[in-house]
């Protein structure tokens, strides 16, 4: 389990590397029934007297367009010089791939990434453009992991896991530290859940600092293995055929990591799910402001806030994480046109 000292060390390593993203105030529009609805217009400024205020943490503004740079850089920067000389390898559907490639280039080490062949083109191309060597496999997250481990054993690469690693968790957790620094009044934080690295770090940072703040995970109903795991008390794995159906490509992991599960059990208050239509509507809502454009995975926390208020704590000051904005141009154009 990570400590506040681990989180502070990660924050120090990331100074001048990761963007210090700032909260954007955003209350959801409310219909006549009092139920939040999606509007084509995104307010620039929140309503001070709103009963349920929403602020967004725009990690889409990172150099790679997603939060993953934080954990990847913290992990690779923590390696010895001898380890970095061996090169690093990871497995990812896209955003972690870019984070590892970016960090490896900055720290002058070779990066090999195992990616699914169905990863969005924008993420495949961005990873290659950052200098990483890419190996393609099938859609299953277990298949990516197995291939990376085999290549690491063959070539001596250091594995940089996408989520099941304390250095990765601590790097992602710097988001939680920043939220508390910028908004001491925060009562609830919503974060997307894939493999569990992001919510593990954020939840640890928040609960170790202020245990009264609620931390809620949000994931697609098609890939709700984290919710099933939390509620059953053991890690539950979903089939690749099912999780690959969600539009949220960054959350298609089949199960959360064991290290992540321990953090989630200790620090996360609940995990809720959203539908594919709700994810699309939240993307459309967020796309009206260039600062908050979100890829499907990046929109799930906002979707949870807008469409599932009855499942959330009755808190007035809330933050949702936009975890990434690497959306295919055609998809963005379709959203804005529709």
Strands 270-274 and 214-220: parallel
More confident residue, 119 or 221: 221
Dist CA 156 CA 167 (whole Å): 20
In this prediction, residue 33 carries a pLDDT of 40
Query: Over the range 280-318, which residues count as b (16 or more CB within 10 Å of their CB) and which as e?
Result: bbbbbbbbebebbbbbbbbbbbbbbbbbbbeebeeeebb
Report the candidate in 80, 131, 274 with the shortest Cα–Cα distance to residue 190. Answer: 274
What confidence category does residue 118 fall into, taking pLDDT thresholds of 50, 70 and 90? Answer: confident
Dist CA 4 CA 16 (whole Å): 20
Angle formed at CA 253 by CA 207 and CA 295, multiple of 5 degrees: 80
The distance in angstroms from the start CA to the end CA of the chain is: 45
More confident residue, 83 or 33: 83
In this prediction, residue 51 carries a pLDDT of 76
| Contact (CB, 8 A) for 226 and 264 | yes
For the segment 98-120, the average pLDDT, to the nearest whole number, is 95
Q: What DSSP assignment string belongs to 277-307?
A: HHHHHHHHHHTTSGGG---HHHHHHHHHHHH
In this prediction, residue 225 carries a pLDDT of 97
Mean pLDDT of the chain: 91
Which helix (H) or strand (E) covers residue 12, if one does?
A: helix 4-14
Residue 35 has pLDDT above 80, yes or no: no
In this prediction, residue 338 carries a pLDDT of 62
Question: 131's torsion region: left (phi>0), alpha (psi -120 to 50) or beta?
Answer: left
* Residue 214 burial (C-beta neighbours within 10 Å; 0-12, 13-18, 19+): buried
| pLDDT digits 0-9 by tens, 37-74 | 443 333 333 333 357 899 999 999 999 999 999 999 99
pTM over 0.75: yes
For the segment 2-23, the average pLDDT, to the nearest whole number, is 98
Q: How many residues does the chain have?
A: 338
Query: Over the range 66-77, which residues count as b (16 or more CB within 10 Å of their CB) and which as e?
Result: bbbbbbbbbbbb
Dist CA 251 CA 298 (whole Å): 10
Dist CA 271 CA 46 (whole Å): 26
Which helix (H) or strand (E) covers residue 89, if one does?
A: strand 88-91
Report the candidate in 139, 154, 155 with the shortest Cα–Cα distance to residue 92. Answer: 139
What confidence category does residue 250 fall into, taking pLDDT thresholds of 50, 70 and 90? Answer: confident
Q: Which residues contact 232 (CB under 8 A, 6 or more apart)?
A: none
In this prediction, residue 328 carries a pLDDT of 81
What confidence category does residue 141 fall into, taking pLDDT thresholds of 50, 70 and 90? Answer: confident
| Contact (CB, 8 A) for 202 and 191 | yes
Domain ranges, ordered by start, for the chain: 4-65+166-337, 68-159
Q: How far is CA 224 from CA 57, 255, 277, 300, in A?
A: 23, 9, 16, 12
Fold of 4-65+166-337: Rossmann fold (3.40.50)
CATH class of the domain comprising 68-159: alpha beta
Dist CA 50 CA 81 (whole Å): 52
| pLDDT digits 0-9 by tens, 192-210 | 999 999 999 999 999 999 9
Residue 235 has pLDDT above 90, yes or no: yes
Q: How far out from the chain centre does Cα 75 lie?
A: 16
Report the candidate in 268, 271, 289 with the shortest Cα–Cα distance to residue 335. Answer: 289
Neighbours of 21 (CB within 10 A): 21
Neighbours of 147 (CB within 10 A): 18
| pLDDT digits 0-9 by tens, 203-231 | 999 999 999 999 999 999 999 999 999 99
Most confident of 59-63, 90-94, 249-253: 59-63
């Amino acid at each position: 389990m990570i400590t506040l000292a681990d989180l502070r060390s990660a924050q120090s390593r990331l100074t001048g590397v990761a963007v210090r993203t700032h909260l954007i105030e955003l209350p959801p529009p409310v219909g006549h029934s009092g139920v939040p609805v999606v509007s084509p217009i995104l307010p620039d400024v929140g309503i001070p007297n709103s009963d349920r205020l929403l602020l967004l943490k725009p990690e889409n503004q990172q150099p790679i367009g997603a939060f993953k740079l934080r954990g990847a850089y913290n992990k690779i920067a923590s390696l010895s010089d001898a380890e970095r000389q061996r090169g690093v390898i990871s497995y990812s559907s896209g955003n972690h791939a870019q984070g590892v490639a970016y960090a490896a280039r900055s720290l002058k080490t070779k990066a090999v990434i195992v990616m699914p062949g169905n990863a969005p083109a924008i993420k495949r191309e961005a990873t290659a453009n950052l200098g990483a060597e890419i190996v393609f496999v099938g859609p299953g997250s277990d298949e990516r992991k197995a291939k990376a481990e085999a290549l690491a054993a063959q070539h001596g690469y250091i594995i940089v896991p996408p989520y099941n690693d304390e250095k990765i968790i601590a790097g992602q957790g710097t988001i939680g530290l920043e939220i508390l620094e910028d908004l001491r009044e925060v009562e609830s934080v919503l974060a997307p859940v894939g493999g569990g690295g992001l919510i593990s770090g954020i939840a640890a940072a928040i609960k170790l600092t202020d245990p009264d703040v609620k931390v809620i995970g949000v994931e697609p109903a098609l890939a709700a293995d984290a919710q099933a795991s939390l509620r059953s008390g053991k890690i539950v794995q979903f089939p690749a055929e099912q999780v690959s159906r969600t539009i949220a490509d960054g959350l298609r992991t089949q199960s959360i990591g064991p290290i992540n599960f321990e953090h989630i059990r200790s620090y996360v208050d609940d995990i809720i799910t959203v539908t594919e239509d709700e994810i699309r509507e939240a993307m459309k809502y967020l796309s009206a402001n260039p600062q908050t454009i979100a890829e499907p995975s990046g929109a799930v926390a906002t979707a949870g806030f807008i469409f599932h208020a009855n499942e959330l704590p009755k808190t007035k000051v809330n933050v949702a994480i936009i975890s990434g904005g690497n959306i295919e141009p055609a998809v963005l154009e379709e959203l804005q046109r529709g």
